[in-house]
Structure 1
C-alpha cells in the first residue's frame, strides 16, 4: 500500500495545475460572469494538452492511463472552476466511458476519437420530471416500429443539455417493469425530432449549461444502442465512475477553498496580529485540512481499487457522499474566516460555496448515496416503495 503519487502522476498533476491556473483562470472568471461554457477553441486546446479522454483507450484516441490519473487532472481544473473542469469530467468519467465499456466498437470508434480530439461533447441524459432519485420510474421510451427504433420522451437536469453535440440517453426499451426494461441509446443533436427547453438558471454551476431535452419520434439507428433493455446494472456500473468524478469536483472546490483560507489568514490582521494566530481560526483550518485529506483518500482508494475498470458502488458512494458533505463544510468555514471578503463576489469564495452545494444534489443526492452504502454493506437492495 503506497500513499504517494508516482513521478509520472506528479508530473501530470503539475502540468494540469500549471495549465488550469495560468491559462484558464482568467477565462474561468469570464465564464462565471457570463454564465457561458468553455468554447470549442478552449476544448481543442485541452485536447492538444492531452486532457480529454485521459483514461480512454489509445485505440479510441485517449491517453490510455488509469482512472486515478484522470481524477488527478480533474481535481486541478476543479480547483479553478467546475466550468473549465466539466469537459474533462464528461470525457473521462462521464457518459463517454459508458460508450467505451458497453457500446459496439463501431460506435465507440465513431464517437470517442472526436471527443478526445476536442471536436465533440457528449452529455448524459438521465433524470426526468418524475424520475430523479427514483430513476427506474423514467418514461422516455424506445419502441420498434417497422424495424425502426423510435425514441419519445423528455429529460430534465441534463448538464450540457442544449450545449453538447450528443447525448447518452437512459430510456425504457421494453415493457419489462422497473430496471429490467431500461437501457441506453446514443442520440446526435442533429437528429430530427430533438429539441430543447429554455436554459436553466441555477444557484451555481454557471458555465455548465442545463436544459430540458425533448425527443419527438426520433429514429435511432440500431447501431446507436449502447445498452439494450435489462442493462441498467451496466449503466450504473459506469455511473459509479461518474460518482468518483462528482466527488473529485467537490474535492477540487474544497481544496481550493482551504488553500485560499490558509493563505488569507496568514496575511489578514486583526487586533494587531495575523488571523492565524487566533486559536479559533486554527481549529477551523485544521478541520478543513482533515476533511480535504480524508476526501482525497476515499476518492483515490475507489479509483485504485478499480484500477482501469469501474469502481464498486460501495467505494464510489462512500467517496461521493463524504465529498458532497465536506465541500459544504469547508467552503462555509473558509467563507466565514474571510468575513466580508469571503462574501464578496470579487474573491471567488461565495462561488465555491454555491458550486459545492450543487454536487450533493447532482448525480444522486447525498441521502441516496447513504442508501447505496447501507445496501452494499448488508448485501441487498432496500425497497424504497414499500
Structure 2
C-alpha cells in the first residue's frame, strides 16, 4: 500500500500551505477573539480556489477529486485555524456528502452548486438532549401530511447552528423501533417554525457556532426528504468519511502546535544554549513527530481504502480514535515545552490545547470509536441497552 503523495497532491499541499500561512493567521486570531464564524470574503476565496466541495461529483458542480485531496487541503488550513477551515470541512465532508450519495437527484442539483460556490453552508443536526452517543433514541419526529411532513422536536450541539443556510435533520419518520424508524430531511434556516437557542460558549471551537435548534411543527416539502424511515444506516456510511475529516482537523491543530514548538525550541536559549540541545526536549520532539505521522497514516489508509466510496467503520474509527487521543498529548507537550509562553494567550499553543480536546468529543466520542473498533474485530455489534 503506497501512501506517497502524487505530484499533483504535493503541489496542492504546497499551494494551500502558502495560502494558509499568508491569509489565515489574522483571520484565525479575529475568529478566536470574537467567536464570529468565517467571514464571507474568506468563504468566497475558498470557492475561488476550488476547495469548497472539491470531492463532490462533477455532475452536481463539484470537481470529483479524491477524498484524500480534500483532506490535504483541510489539514493545511487547520494547521493555522480550524475555525477558518470549517467551511471546507462542511462542504467536503459534512451532510452535503450524504445528500450527494443518498438524497434525491433534485435535491443534489439544488444544493451542491450552491455549496461549491460558497453561497450555502449545510450543517448536520443529529444530537438531542437525551440522544447523543445513543443516537437511535432520538425523539425529533416528522409526521407525513399532505404534500410533505411536519417536523417537531429539539436538537443540540449542532456545529453551524444559526449560521448555516440549511440543515440535514435526523428524525424519526415511522413507528419502527431504533434505527429502522429514522430518516433525514433538509430544512432551510428561515423556514417558519424553525428557531435557534443562544449561542454556546465553549472551551474551544471559537468561531464554529453551536446552539440548540427548535422545530415547532415545521413543514418540510416532500422533495426535501433526504432519506425516509430506515435510511439511517445508509446515511451513517457517509459518516465514516466525516470521521476522517474530524481526525484531520485535529491533526492540523496538532501539527500546527508541533511546528510552533519546534521553532521555539531552536530559538529559546537556557544555560547558554538552545533548549533543543537538551536530550529531554529531543525525546519529546521525537515522540510528537512519531505520533503525528502515525495519525496521518491511519487517516490516509482509511481515506484511500474505500468500499463503494466510503471507508470501513473499522478504518475510520481507528483513524479518528488514535488522532483524537494523540492530538491532546501533542498539544499538551507543546505547551509544556514552551512553559509560561505556552500558557499565555499571547501565543497560539493554549488555543490549540483547547481546540484539540474538542475533536475527541465532536463527531462521536473517543470511547464510542473504541466500541466500534471492538465490534468490528469480533464481528458483532454490542447492545448497550442490555
Instruction: Give me the TM-score of the superposition, normalised by structure 2.
Output: 0.99
Which residues of structure 1 form unaligned runs of 5+? none
2:213 and 2:362 map into 1 onto residues whose CA distance is 17
Equivalent residue, structure 2, for 1:277 = 277
2:182 and 2:207 map into 1 onto residues whose CA distance is 31
Q: Is the 8 A contact 2:288 2:330 kept in 1?
A: yes
Q: Is the 8 A contact 1:94 1:241 kept in 2?
A: no
How far has the Cα of 1:2 moved from its partner? 1.9
Q: Deviations over 1:308-363 (max 9, x none)?
A: 81111101000000000000000000000001110111110000000000000111
How far has the Cα of 1:377 moved from its partner? 1.0
Q: Is the 8 A contact 1:102 1:227 kept in 2?
A: yes
1:310 and 1:338 map into 2 onto residues whose CA distance is 40
How far has the Cα of 1:148 moved from its partner? 3.2
1:44 and 1:105 map into 2 onto residues whose CA distance is 26
Aligned pairs for 1:18-167 within 5 A: 18-167=18-167
Partner secondary structure for residue 157 of structure 1:
strand
Q: Is the 8 A contact 1:67 1:307 kept in 2?
A: no
1:261 and 1:207 map into 2 onto residues whose CA distance is 24
How far has the Cα of 1:23 moved from its partner? 1.4
Equivalent residue, structure 2, for 1:287 = 287
Taking structure 1 as reference, are residues 172 and 307 closer, same or farther at Cα in structure 2, changes over 3 Å only? closer
Q: Is the 8 A contact 1:66 1:307 kept in 2?
A: no
Q: Deviations over 1:75-128 (max 9, x none)?
A: 001101111111000000111101101101110010010000000010000000
**Would you say 1:250 and 2:285 are equivalent positions?**
no
Taking structure 1 as reference, are residues 292 and 381 closer, same or farther at Cα in structure 2, changes over 3 Å only? same
Instruction: Give me the TM-score of the superposition, normalised by structure 1.
Output: 0.99
Equivalent residue, structure 2, for 1:179 = 179
Equivalent residue, structure 2, for 1:346 = 346
Partner secondary structure for residue 345 of structure 1:
coil
Q: Is the 8 A contact 2:147 2:222 kept in 1?
A: no
How far has the Cα of 1:145 moved from its partner? 2.6
Q: Deviations over 1:22-64 (max 9, x none)?
A: 1122111111111111122211111001110110111222121
Partner secondary structure for residue 362 of structure 2:
coil
Equivalent residue, structure 2, for 1:241 = 241
1:318 and 1:168 map into 2 onto residues whose CA distance is 26
The Cα RMSD (Å) is 1.0
2:204 and 2:215 map into 1 onto residues whose CA distance is 27
The range that moved more, 73-82 or 141-150, is 141-150
Q: Is the 8 A contact 2:3 2:300 kept in 1?
A: no
1:60 and 1:14 map into 2 onto residues whose CA distance is 28
1:48 and 1:41 map into 2 onto residues whose CA distance is 10
**Would you say 1:15 and 2:15 are equivalent positions?**
yes
Aligned pairs for 1:255-270 within 5 A: 255-270=255-270
Which residues of structure 2 form unaligned runs of 5+? none
